[in-house]
Amino acid sequence: MSEQQQQYWPIFTEKDEIKTFWNKKPINFVKQTISYQQLMKRISWKSNKPTEYEFLLSEEGVLFYKKNNKVKGYVQLNEDISLKLIDLKISNKKADAVKVIRIKRTKDIFLYIWNHDYQYTFQFLKYLCQFCFVQNLDELYTLQDVIGKGGFSKVYTLTPNIRLPNQPFNYAGKVYNKNELLSKKDLKKFYHFIRSECYILKRINFPYVLKLCEIIQLEELLILVTEYIKGGSLYQYLKERKRLSEIESTQILLKLALGLQQVHNLGYVHRDIKLENVLIDKDQLKLIDFGFAEKICRDRLVNGQGTAGYIAPEVFMKQPYQEVGDIFSLGVIFYSMLSGKAPFRSNTYDALLKLNKECQIEFSELRFPNVSQKTMYLLKAMLSKQPENRINLQDLLNQLTVCQILSPTNNMASTQSIVEGSVGISFNHLQSKNTLKSFYQNSQNSFTENHSQMSQQKPSKNLRDRRYKSQSLDKKGLLLKSSSFKPSLKNIYQIKIEQSDDNISITDLDQPIPYENLRFLQTSYQTLNCQKFI
């Protein structure tokens, strides 16, 4: 290995430039939230005499030790501090060799801690792994099957060799090989990419961003241990479904935007948002692969790499890549979900890059059937060619959270929640055929009554403007005739549905709502919330 290569492998090593292990300066211990504490024995690099102390770990990664209920010292843990389980011989007796945790800050400054019960030693190690890198694999995990491959890494399933209570049965391990990584021309760039990815994921604990559990640095391998998502990518999900509904697409977009907000708040941009970098499994959704993530630079373009078809147009103009660059890539995903097709398509890579650069995007109604005008406006704002005209993340979140279709904390909206949330009537009650018929007839009557009342009054200028704005125009600019079917739920809260033996039976309650009736209810819901019709 050349001298230059030695600078970039191992990726993680002890780099603290300190002369003592513990910080002795005063600290406000009361403000610390303790996540784990345990009585442990300690041997330091200065003394071989085992001494028992109480060790405490805060949620922010500060490790304290106390004696007689008084804080003696503390250290802020980070990715430049190593952990390793080793067998340490306490005395000359063979039986005295015990498993200890070595916490190492520099080549010469370290300490050993352990508990007489190995279960507590191992448990403490797992807590410490949240903040440091660890130099053990066999004591922690077993590598299983390959579940994915990247440009310079492979992803394996991992099973814990010692499973703690409430610990998952499986993890995913992104494995980098030393020889493959050192063969890269841009070794320095990849080194910083990996460091940035770990820095970001270690500091984000959010439902819609993949959780990095541990960093395992070995002599020949680097393994990033993450949570395991059983389902596939959003690309696979969309390929099976062809196209997603407006409701589901908007909800996925909101979750991704919330996850992206966490990244931007750290001062980083993702730079490789695409369908393949979103994992989805039932109600779970995770933004993954931060290999191209970098610190936000507003003065110049640091790196022009990205995935063709998702690259923000300003990158081709050598302009700085800022937060709105990620918004453009997010818009490509939103476009693909709503239409079932990518905005840029070609059989060759060069042609795809050219289309991406020109950024001529089709937004025709044929491409987006049953998509509201409000959503189309949002999509166009995300895919604006000029970054200064593109919607920013906060405004995007404001638009999405104001929308009544979903809320940021809910799971995927089910038909049941849609119906109950929009009309305020028990879903079980609606399962009766007669009740549903009554509900439908009343909704139509309410529209007829409201329409007749409105026809007697001269509409205001604002109402006329709104009506013309929402109706479609033909090629000559004339108003097209609106459909005669416009379900209205304005007075639905006032509907009184009588329950009687003739109206509802046990058999009726067990019957699901017919598909065509569900379609009516969903259309009514979208009408109220998306404001596609007036």
SS (H, E, C) 194-263: HHHHHHHHHHCCCCCECCEEEEEECCCEEEEEEECCCCCEHHHHHHHHCCCCHHHHHHHHHHHHHHHHHH
Cα–Cα distance measured from residue 41 to residue 88, given in angstroms and rounded to the nearest whole number:
13
DSSP output for 113-149? EE-SSHHHHHHHHHHHTTTSEE--STTTEEEEEEEEE
Q: Is residue 166 left, alpha or beta, with left meaning phi > 0 and alpha meaning psi from -120 to 50?
A: left
Question: In the structure encoding, which two tokens stand for residue 271, read together?
Answer: 């730079």
Quote the Cα angle for 104-109-113, to 5°: 55
Q: What does DSSP assign to residue 285?
A: E
CA pair distance 310, 330, nearest whole angstrom: 8
Q: How many CB atoms lie within 10 A of CB 353?
A: 16
In the numeric block, the tokens 């990996």 are attached to: 194
Is residue 104 annotated as involved in ligand binding?
A: no
Q: Where does residue 296 rank: exposed (0-12), middle (13-18), buried (19+ CB within 10 A)?
A: middle
Long-range contacts of 494-500 (CB under 8 A, 24+ apart): 495/425, 495/438, 495/439, 495/442, 495/443, 495/446, 497/425, 497/429, 497/435, 497/438, 497/439, 499/429
Residue 121 in contact with residue 100, Cβ under 8 Å?
yes
Of 444, 403, 415, the C-alpha closest to 530 is 403
**Nearest residue to 216 (alpha-carbon basis) of 147, 142, 120:** 142
Identify any residues that bridge with 52 across adjacent strands, giving them in sequence order: 41
- The CA dihedral of 253, 259, 263, 265, to the nearest 10 degrees, is 100
Q: Which residues pair with 101 in a beta bridge?
A: 85, 113
* Residue 29 φ then ψ, to 5°: -70, -30
How far, CA to CA in Å, does 62 sit from each of 58, 126, 132, 238, 529? 5, 15, 11, 43, 47
Joined together, the tokens standing for residue 161 give: 């060799």
Distance from C-alpha of 414 to C-alpha of 431, rounded to nearest angstrom: 15
Binding positions are: 174
Binding residues for ATP: 174
